[in-house]
Structure 1
């Protein structure tokens, strides 16, 4: 991170690009939605819902609308009965995949250490 962008975040937290982006895509549902769309390609709502464990339909709807508003996901509506809607990553969304996958891989690699540290921490609190 450059000194100039760091100062921007320190001096005006509301105008910090990193904070803004993390607030929007830093939740687990947004990250998983982007990862699933990258892995499977274009998906209909119910297909995407099946690939993301434990997400409610309402939360998936909110997540998709947020990702669409940020230009990361596009929605295509087909005029047929019943209506068919498909979701796909935009080029901007695709550009987010490499850093997300780096975090995804890091989390999978280090989860045993993190769990052990949490357990040690909890044990020190109960002594």
Structure 2
């Protein structure tokens, strides 16, 4: 069954010209936002680390990723939080403590990208 989005790429006329032998086209446009998000520096690694290790503090992520730019890591964590993929939890302690963990949506994404990562590892 064809999956049609709100874009013109999946309209019946576009599908007929794009794939003449196939009467149903699949719209890949919804994946564009996901690809844009996970292709940013550290994003995929952050999701994978949190999936493998559970909640982590900023310093733990920074050490594991061998970060060259703390501001870039902070920005990426903020973006992934805004996207609803990770959760930032602060504890009312002295000194302050903050942990990052996957949201249910982030865990689902992490589970779906694992086969891709396994395939990529096999291709090396």
| Short-chain TM bin | 0.7 to 0.9
Higher helix share: 1
Q: Secondary structure of 2:66's partner?
A: coil
Which position in structure 1 is the counterpart of 2:4?
A: 4
How far the C-alpha of 1:25 sits from its partner, in A, is 1.7
Native 8 Å contact 1:29 1:55 kept in 2: no
Matches within 5 A, 1:1-127: 2-5=2-5, 8=7, 10=9, 16-111=29-124
Native 8 Å contact 2:67 2:73 kept in 1: no
Higher mean displacement: 26-35 or 63-72: 26-35
Q: Give TM-score, length-normalised by structure 2.
A: 0.75
What are the ranges of 5 or more consecutive residues in structure 2 without an aligned counterpart?
11-28
How far the C-alpha of 1:58 sits from its partner, in A, is 1.4
What are the ranges of 5 or more consecutive residues in structure 1 without an aligned counterpart?
112-127
How far the C-alpha of 1:55 sits from its partner, in A, is 4.6
Q: Secondary structure of 1:47's partner?
A: helix
1:89/1:20 CA distance change after superposition, 3 Å: same
- Count of residues in correspondence between the two structures: 106
Give the Cα separation in 2 of the matches to 1:43 and 1:21. 23
Q: Hey, which bits of structure 1, 4+ residues long, moved more than 4 A?
A: none
Which position in structure 2 is the counterpart of 1:117?
A: none
How far the C-alpha of 1:17 sits from its partner, in A, is 2.2
Q: Give TM-score, length-normalised by structure 1.
A: 0.74
